[in-house]
Structure 1
Amino acid sequence: MNTDIPPALKSVTIIGAGPAGLIAAERLAMAGFAVTVHDRMPSVGRKLLMAGRGGLNLTHSEPIETFLARYGESAARLASLIAAFPPEALRQWSEALGEPTFVGSSGRVFPRSLKASPLLRAWLRRLDTVGVRFALRQDWRGFDAYGANVFALPDGEMTAVKSGATLLALGGASWPRLGSNGAWASILSDRGVAITPLRPANVGFRAAWSPMFRERFAGTPLKTITLGFEGQTIRGEALITQYGIEGGAIYALSAPLREAIARAGSARLVIDLCPQRSQAELAQRIAAQKPGQSLANLLRKAAALPPVAINLLRETAGQPLPRDADSLAGLIKAAPLVLTGIEGLERAISTAGGVSWDALDEHMMLKALPGVFVAGEMIDWEAPTGGYLLQASFATGVAAAEGIAAWLGAEMPATPR
């Protein structure tokens, strides 16, 4: 490391105490920088803790080519960053914190405890050991005339902090009650930074359920289904809600569904309620059923459909359902569900849009604001759930730390542990 760097330049201000900001803080502190992490909330890692409520999905074990494809249009931009801090590196980092990982049946990677809180506690102990300081309840308001970061304090006073470099890791605008409210977008836009409008990602969609269906089935999962939209097919699960439908399989299609609704006002999703059988096999099984039984019994016996799926057929096809075997089998394999809207950012798991890739140089620094770097969900990329969100947040945080060190003329440790 370059020990001739003036002390004032060895200080780094990181704004945002999520995964991207914290991993950058760790890397920079281990390289000898004086790092302070600021956040508007009273505690750190709130979205990480929320992500871990159902089992903290850190990353995914699938081949890297398939993994990168999950990032859609941003795959090429993220490829080198994830190559520098790939899923295996994230797993090794977690294990070094005392949280070994395992691969679930779906290929997703989890810490053995399945929780975020033990990992975060261990991480904070390490950050304390390497000298990272925290300044909480400080709301970033932009820069003053001298380039210092301006913060609003809890008592209403304002304070300015000048450092050698700044990393913005403020998150997107999803789940704003956890800290990421997207207020940074207008601040940076006013400074000449190109911002793609923030939009909900990994979010539920609205459907015009009948009162009976909504009352009876809201909160009921649709298991082992396949969703199809514009040539894409996703196998998984979904959840019927009061407003419509959500869940992992829906989230995987949220980007094209969102754009279709923005263009046309609605989107037609096709649901295969029995993907394990072909249409011909289903028609044969339906035709073989004894005559005279109710349609619900027929569908239960021939296609093993649960009540929620049978009633979904009625919702999507109208009354009455066709009784001939071929038509009924075709409807089971392609139930058409019209989605009429999308839930807002306050209910979204993640955010699409943000700082344009073209606004950043190869070191994650804003071209319009030298010495100011960006990482995490602030950048214009999106991905489905499954470990891809955290992986890219960590990878961009590591890349930004490398960029800051290079900007300040220092060398980083070889391995991000």
Structure 2
Amino acid sequence: MTAHTQIDALIVGAGPAGLMAAEVISAAGFSVIVAEAKPSPARKFLMAGKSGLNLTKNEPRAPFLAAYDPIPDTLREALMEFGPKQVITWAEGLGQEMFTGSSGRVFPKVMKASPLLRAWLSRLDAQGVDLRRNWRMTALGDAVCFDTPEGPVQVNAKTVVLALGGASWARLGSNGAWLDLVSPYVALAPFMASNVGILRDWSPHMTRHFGAPLKGVCLTSGAYSTRGECVISARGIEGGGVYAVTRGLRAGAPLRIDLLPDWSEERVKQTLIQRKSKETLTTFLKRAFRLPPEKIALMLECAGPKPTDLYAALKHLEITDIRLRPMDEAISTAGGVCFDSLSDDLAAKPRPDLFFAGEMLDWDAPTGGYLLTACLATGRLAGQGAIKALS
């Protein structure tokens, strides 16, 4: 077995959290190896950027932090130190011109992830970071062992940062296979799907609405509510609107949709009494409320062709007979390494040279820039902790 010695820091995982830890540590003058199990780094990051890289959310601190509720204290502190403004400044420092959309979401002007990643990898290379591809971790002890294209390798590092992702998108490297390796050092919470669509078996009359967006709706599940957009698909409902209430659905709360969120209770009720005696329900809904076909179809599917309470069907439509999609179809996961088993700088309490960052930590947040910001912030915090341990 080949052995690498005299390494200050070993980073396992080349996603946003791992690369940020590598940037922080190498900038302080320490030697860094980044080990990535896949042939190329940041695959999930690149996939997320295919439809426009939503890097962060430009909004005041209070609502930004509320998106992570219930938020662990350590994560709160990390985000207060490296939140939306700092993320934007960091990206601009990599030569990426940023813009904020009408919803507060922040994107590179080019909309893609690849130019930012190339600039980032170039910076890390200039700082002496040694990126090793196709290195799969097989053991974690005083030394860290890997299977590599050149055969087994053992790395003896003064500090180790693990940034191995959660348990979604296995094909991109986030498969949760590290649980047994880290369990001697930290407490673990079971993985659960987050930011995931719902499954529902539709009746045949819904077929023509597959692919139709539900715009201008408000979705609620338990304590979680959002104004957003989602899409009716052959398998159920997906999209940012439903992703944002996953935490409520996971807890067993029903999913309800307000089809007319801009209409007051009084306005809806006054309009309902204006229905003409011979007017069909569909015609009335189109005329009086200007509901598009997909909203009418969804209401009739879930409330029945003759709703007993038309007001409730419009303002509190319960989407019945649903279940969450499998975890490997989720954008992210909750669960993983418990914050209570870590120090304030994300080191394992029984092993102060071993740090954790990114989605392998037990936190949860909706899409919209919150996921990437927390990965960057925790990677930075773990990197700072490693510097303290090395100093």
The normalised TM-score by structure 1 is 0.89
Q: Which runs of 5+ in 2 are unaligned?
A: none
Residue 143 of structure 2: aligned partner: 148
Is 1:206–2:216 an aligned residue pair? no
For 2:262 and 2:326, locate their aligned partners in 1 and report how far apart those are by CA, in whole Å. 34
The 1:232–1:378 alpha-carbon spacing in structure 2 relative to 1, beyond 3 Å, is closer
1:303 is displaced (CA, Å) by 0.9
Counterpart for residue 236 of structure 1: 228
Q: CA deviation at 1:330?
A: 3.2
Which whole-Å deviations, capped at 9, do the CAs of 1:137-194 have from their partners, x for residues lacking one? 11111225xx111111246x322111111110001011110111101112111x2421
Pair 1:42 & 2:39 matched: yes
**2:363 & 2:173 partners in 1: Cα distance?**
19
Q: Deviations over 1:1-46 (max 9, x none)?
A: xxxxxx9665211000000110111111111111111111000111
Aligned: 1:194 with 2:187: yes
Secondary structure (helix, strand or coil) at the match of 2:59 reads: coil
Alignment CA distance shift 1:98-1:63 (3 Å):
same
Identity %: 44
1:321-373 CA-to-partner distances (Å, cap 9, x unmatched) read: 45xxxx42332111111253211121100110010101111121112333111
Residue of structure 2 aligned with 1:345, choices 311, 317, 327: 327
Provide the rounded CA distance (Å) in 2 between the counterparts of 1:338 and 1:321: 14
> Do 1:91 and 1:100's aligned partners in 2 also have CA atoms closer than 8 Å?
no
- 2:224–2:248 Cα contact (<8 Å) kept: no
Structure-1 residue corresponding to 2:66: 69
Corresponding position of 1:163: 157
Matched, 1:277 2:273: no
> 1:5-404 to 2 correspondence within 5 Å?
11-144=8-141, 147-154=142-149, 157-189=151-183, 191-213=184-206, 215-260=207-252, 267-321=253-307, 327-404=309-386
How far apart are the structure 2 equivalents of 1:376 and 1:317?
41
The code of the aligned residue for 1:241 comes to S
Count residues in correspondence: 388
Unaligned runs of 5+ in 1: 1-6, 261-266, 410-417
Q: Name the SS of the counterpart of 2:75 in structure 1.
A: helix
1:313–1:332 CA contact under 8 A, matched in 2? yes
- CA-atom RMSD in angstroms: 1.8
- Does the residue aligned with 1:72 lie in a helix, a strand or coil? coil
Structure 1 CA distance for aligned equivalents of residues 296 and 324 of structure 2: 25
Greater mean deviation of Cα atoms: 334-343 or 121-130: 334-343
Which deviates the most, 304-313 or 76-85? 76-85
Q: Contact conserved, 2:5 with 2:155, CA < 8 A, in 1?
A: no
Change (3 A) 1:403 1:192: closer
Partner-residue secondary structure (3-state), 2:70: helix
* CA displacement 1:224-248 (0-9 Å, x = unmatched): 1011222443111111122221211
Q: Does the 8 Å contact 1:279/1:330 carry over to 2?
A: no
Contact residue 9 and residue 408 of structure 1 kept, 8 A? no
What's the secondary structure of 1:402's corresponding residue? helix
Are 2:223 and 2:248, in contact at CA under 8 Å, matched by a contact in 1? no
Give the whole-Å Cα distance in 2 for the aligned partners of 1:17 and 1:307.
45
Secondary structure of the structure 2 residue equivalent to 1:319: coil
Instruction: Report the secondary structure of 2:88's partner residue.
Output: helix
Contact 2:358-2:379 at 8 Å conserved across structures:
yes
Contact 1:9 / 1:165 at 8 angstroms: preserved in 2?
A: no
Q: 1:34-87 CA distances to partner (integer Å, 9 max, x unpaired)?
A: 111111100011111111122111111111111111111225331211122121
1:286 shift after superposition: 4.1
With 135-144 and 19-28 compared, the bigger mean Cα shift is at: 135-144
CA contact (8 A) 2:72 2:339 kept: no
Amino acid at match of 2:187: A
Query: How far apart in 2 are the matches of 1:339 and 1:161?
Result: 51
For residues 11 and 225 of structure 2, what CA distance do their matches in structure 1 show?
40
- The question of whether the paired residues in 2 share the 8 Å contact of 1:170 and 1:180 is answered with yes
Q: Distance in 1 between matches of 2:305 and 2:284?
A: 16
Aligned mates of 2:86, 2:361 — CA distance in 1: 22
Q: Contact 2:189/2:338 (CA < 8 Å) preserved in 1?
A: yes
- SS at 1:385's partner residue? coil
Q: Do the aligned residues in 1 keep the contact of 2:6 with 2:156 (CA within 8 Å)?
A: no
Please give the alpha-carbon distance, in whole angstroms, between the structure 2 residues aligned to 1:319 and 1:250.
24
Give, as a single letter, the amino acid of the residue that structure 1 aligns with 2:214. Answer: L
What is the Cα deviation at residue 221 of structure 1? 1.1
- Residues 192-242 of structure 1, C-alpha deviation per residue, up to 9 Å, x if partnerless? 4211011111001222321331x2222221101011222443111111122
Asked whether the equivalents of residues 280 and 329 of structure 1 are also in contact (C-alpha less than 8 Å), the reply is: no
Alpha carbons of 1:9 and 1:406: their partners in 2 closer, same or farther (altered >3 Å)? Answer: farther
For each residue in 1:78-112, what CA deviation from the matched residue of structure 2 results, as whole angstroms up to 9, or x when unmatched?
Answer: 12111221211111110011112111100111111
SS at structure 1 position matched to 2:366 = coil
Query: Structure 1: which amino acid aligns with 2:244?
Result: A
Using the size of structure 2 for normalisation, the TM-score is: 0.94
- Counterpart amino acid of 1:254? T
Q: 1:143 to 1:229 in 2, by over 3 A?
A: closer
